[in-house]
Amino acid sequence: MPELTINGSIIHYRAPARNPENAPVLVCLHGSGADSIVWSAQISRLRRCYAVIAPDLPGHGRSEGKALRSAEEYAHWLNAFTLALALQRFFLMGHSFGGAIAQEYARLHPGQVAGLVLIGTGTRFKFSGTYRELFEKNIDPEAPEARRLIPQQFLRAYAFLKNNGSPALHADLLAAGRFDSRSWIGAVAAPALVMRGANDFVTPPEMPAELAAMLPEAELATIADAGHVVMLEARDAFNDRVSDFFERCRQAEGQLQAPVPVPDR
Claim to verify: residue 26 and residue 132 sit in the same structural domain: no
Q: Which of these three, 178, 198, 221, is where a domain ends? A: 178
DSSP 187: G
Contact 36, 13 (CB under 8 A): yes
Dump pLDDT digits (tens) for 202-235.
888 999 999 999 999 999 999 999 999 999 999 9
CA–CA gap between residue 37 and residue 62 (Å, rounded) = 11
Q: Which of 58, 56, 13 is nearest to 175 (CA)?
A: 58
Phi, psi of 116 (to 5 degrees): -120, 135
Q: Is residue 264 a part of any domain in this protein?
A: no
**In sequence order, what are the residues at sequence separation of 6 or more whose Cβ sits closer than 8 angstroms to the Cβ of residue 35?**
56, 57, 60, 61, 62, 63
Which structural domain range is residue 61 located in? 3-122+185-253
Claim to verify: residue 58 and residue 111 sit in the same structural domain: yes
- Tell me how crowded residue 186 is: count the other CB atoms within 10 A of its CB: 12
Q: Is residue 262 a part of any domain in this protein?
A: no
Per-residue burial over 58-87, b if 16 or more Cβ lie within 10 Å, else e, is: bbbbebbbebbebbbebbbbbeebbeebeb
Dump pLDDT digits (tens) for 52-74.
999 999 999 999 999 999 999 99
Q: Is residue 143 a part of any domain in this protein?
A: yes
Claim to verify: residue 193 and residue 159 sit in the same structural domain: no
Averaged confidence pLDDT in the chain: 88
Q: Is residue 263 a part of any domain in this protein?
A: no
Claim to verify: residue 103 and residue 213 sit in the same structural domain: yes
**Given the DSSP bridges, would you call strands 25-29 and 218-223 parallel, antiparallel or unpaired?**
unpaired
Claim to verify: residue 160 and residue 223 sit in the same structural domain: no
What pLDDT, on a 0 to 100 scale, did the predictor assign at position 21? 80
- The strand order across the sheet containing 113-119 reads 3-6, 9-14, 51-55, 25-29, 90-95, 113-119, 192-197, 218-223
Claim to verify: residue 89 and residue 205 sit in the same structural domain: yes
The answer on pLDDT for 263 being more than 60 is no
Burial category of 235 from C-beta neighbours within 10 Å (exposed 0-12, middle 13-18, buried 19 and up): middle
Q: Which of 57, 178, 205, 47 is nearest to 122 (CA)?
A: 205
Phi, psi of 146 (to 5 degrees): -65, -40
Q: Which of 240, 178, 229 is nearest to 203 (CA)?
A: 229
Helix (H) or strand (E) holding 167: helix 167-178
4 pLDDT band (50/70/90 cuts)? very high
Q: Which of 110, 13, 114, 100 is nearest to 61 (CA)?
A: 13
Contact 115, 201 (CB under 8 A): no
Claim to verify: residue 168 and residue 83 sit in the same structural domain: no
Dump pLDDT digits (tens) for 74-123.
999 999 999 999 999 999 999 999 999 999 999 999 999 999 999 999 99
Dump pLDDT digits (tens) for 144-167.
877 776 666 666 666 656 665 678
Claim to verify: residue 115 and residue 131 sit in the same structural domain: no
- Tell me how crowded residue 178 is: count the other CB atoms within 10 A of its CB: 16
CA–CA gap between residue 232 and residue 39 (Å, rounded) = 8
